[in-house]
Amino acid sequence: MKPYQHVPIFESGEPLVAIPPELFWFELPHPYARLGAPYGQTSPFWLRQGVLNSLVQAQTTLQRNHPNWQILIFDAYRPVAVQQFMVEHTFAEVAQGKTELNSAQTEAIWQQVYQIWAVPSHDPLTPPPHSTGGAVDISLIDQAGQSVWMGSPIDELSTRSQPDYFAKLAAAPNASELERSQAEQAATHRQILCDVMTAAGFERHLGEWWHFCLGDQMWAWLRQQRGDQTAIARYGRADLLAEPERT
């Protein structure tokens, strides 16, 4: 178990709602659905109502300071079955070309996979963050519909996914002028995204620049680590809730 999974959940019953496509850019076709992930009648572009409200607030702040930019929604709600599918898919990708893996090699690959993927737990006490409707994977996009340079793609299995990777690279004494320039740009853009999200009440995943959460176990645990002992997890597994209205 990860530390945040020990946080108890006090389910609010707040509904899942569809993210308005007129307010945000969506990553389309959706990358996991394109692979065949089993969404069924659900959508990767759902969130809890309170999370969506805060996301709209973050977008408003972003466009006040950067009028030509918008938040790009890469992924939001993820049923446990989709989490399982993507964990297995990622394992297969990492293991591709490797034959007759021994137990140590297999375990090493799983550890790599779980650097960015939560365990697809069906236990209602330890839901994957995205299965609560309280987590969203996002980036930035400009007025031409082009991705803003963030240094690395979402879901990359490398140290570049760590939020402060490029800030550290920019300060490295052995970095070339080009490396430093590109790193400074990526670090700046990551910080802009983080600033507007945290100002709206979100917390950022410690190991992923793109993952932000609000109201789930990870959010409560991160808040508690910063001294807010009043923070509680109010979102559990969202598949136990009523299905949102389709728009």
Candidates 11, 156, 184, 208; catalytic one:
208
Nearest to 16 by CA among 56, 43, 38, 39: 43
CA-to-CA distance for 71 and 51, rounded, in angstroms? Answer: 14
Cis amide linkage into residue 153, ω under 30° from 0: no
Coil, strand or helix at 49? helix
Tokens of 109: 């690959």
CA distance 167 to 183: 7
Q: At what angle do helices 49-65 and 177-199 cross, to 10 degrees?
A: 130
Is residue 27 among the annotated active site residues? no
Chain Cα centroid distance, residue 131: 11
Give one DSSP letter per residue of 113-132, joined into a string: HTTTS------TTS--GGGG
Residues designated as active site: 208
